[in-house]
A and B are shown apart, each in its own frame.
Chain A
């Protein structure tokens, strides 16, 4: 550590404390005697189950849609690629509530797409579990796309070029060379997208509402309970902290290998 100027130690310590102290405070604040009862209440279990289910569904959506998008961004020579990329990054800087509103305008019963779906197929998207997954995918997609595009660019096209000279078609090359080579980036991108989906609040509550068992995910339940039952909110928060730590540990150990 001899190379680090001393003047940096103080702000560095403050930065770390800013994150660590509130989390530690949360753990101290947990009412251990009632903890089990609080986190296994029907409302809590329903929210946890819904969060995990929609989080996984979001991860799959990000992989199926964001994966190909990352490949197009990294490998194609489309004109206007910088524009396409900045649009993909928009949800990173946009307030999630605004994201939820845009989805609502598009897919609500009076929106251009939502109206069509309702009139033709009698499908209502907002305030359903599907809406939760859509809202989460909206905010989580850039995490997967950015992570995967970075891996693709780092890996370069050399291996793919070699595979072609060995007679592999573009599809064979994709599955047998590109995907395995960028697998670490694909995994960490998926984990990040899952984690982001798990913490999603603003877009979800705007676009999907807060109906127990259908759209009330853990963050929504925590917010609701923090209004009147602070112990329940704290216990639930601890569950999210633990899940977050597990996610970080899993993705970090993969990086280190």
Chain B
């Protein structure tokens, strides 16, 4: 268990990354940002590819990188899981996982036992004898997870770990990664542009823009109440925290948000319900009929959002706090027809089919 402290300036050509962030021991932090915002430069600095011009990166009390120090990659104890599994093509799945322990001095038998244990951990025991060419993308990524963790890294870097997987394979691998990362308690820094990855895996989110951290906070804070326009744009989703239930999700005070579970979640497990603001319908009076979740909200703000109008919700008196910040995108015609203005009480409604429920960080 190691704490990570990053406070560096890294210059690459005309681009400058200047960040200061801490990851508490055992925490999972997601670094969000679109392309060219400095995510890969940050990863490169952590992995030892780029040397900073100022500051240092300290992991568990060891300085990994500074303008005068550069610990070689193989002595950093920093594991990396990237888009491609990159399993060594000449080794079986088991030998791939055993590679790290072998390289760091473990005997053949010990390394093999360690590898078997980790393959079991990622439900891949039956794949042990297979060559990487005989594995599907999801299987290969599971083996790669086992391989990265078998070295017992002090820091695990995740570089868009699901970006190259089939849409169908992603949920299972993501919840598996969540399980093993939680079980090992490894300090983790994940770079992603997919909000869902952050929701499922991360405790905290850091948003990068143009080489600077523009926002940071707990996953729920950043995604529901984005303070920067940039975070709002990349988040762009409505998010309701609660616990998973058979019908979808139950919030702290007992509201049921009906939805589907794309990945396995146990009832009662911490979860979030996600839906797109465009799928929210807005009514003056409580609607009824088809299976949907209806929430009484106070209209906080109305702002243009592309061709639509974004309606922001705030808590009604005595109502639950989590509705604060929920968004609904409706057409200007619908707004005119509703005839509402900020301060009015309205109903947000969303169909069960539009809502997905995912296991959540913490």
Contact = CB atoms under 8 A, between A and B. Distances in A.
Given A162-B80, A181-B89, A168 B99 contact: yes
A165 B79 contact: yes
Interface stretch (B9-17, B70-78, B213-221, B309-317): B70-78
Nearest to A156: B86
A176 B74 CA distance: 14
B86 A164 contact: no
Interface string B159-171: 0000000000000
A110 interface: no
Contacts of B79: 165-166
Interface residues of A, number: 19
Contacts of A22: none
Range, interface on chain B: 20 to 34
A163 interface: yes
Interface string A164-203: 1111111011001100110100000000000000000000
Contacts of A168: 74, 99-100, 103-104
Given A164-B74, A166-B100, A180 B90 contact: yes
A163 B95 CA distance: 13
Contact of B88 (A161, A165, A177, A183): A177
A223 interface: no
B60 to A, nearest CB: 15
B84 A166 contact: no
B32 interface: no
A75 to B, nearest CB: 15
A158 interface: yes
A167 B90 contact: no
Interface in B40-80: 47-48, 72-80
B152 to A, nearest CB: 10
Interface in B74-123: 74-80, 84, 86, 88-91, 99-100, 102-104
B151 interface: yes
A169 B88 contact: no
B196 to A, nearest CB: 25
Interface of A: 158-159, 161-170, 172-173, 176-177, 180-181, 183
Given A163-B99, A167-B75, 11 more contacts: A159-B88, A162-B88, A163-B74, A166-B74, A166-B99, A167-B103, A169-B74, A170-B74, A177-B88, A180-B91, A181-B90
Interface of B: 47-48, 72-80, 84, 86, 88-91, 99-100, 102-104, 147-148, 151, 153
30 contacts: A158-B86, A159-B88, A161-B73, A162-B80, A163-B74, A163-B88, A163-B103, A164-B48, A164-B72, A165-B47, A165-B78, A166-B74, A166-B147, A167-B74, A167-B77, A167-B103, A167-B151, A168-B74, A168-B103, A168-B104, A169-B103, A172-B103, A173-B74, A176-B99, A177-B88, A180-B88, A180-B91, A181-B89, A181-B90, A183-B90
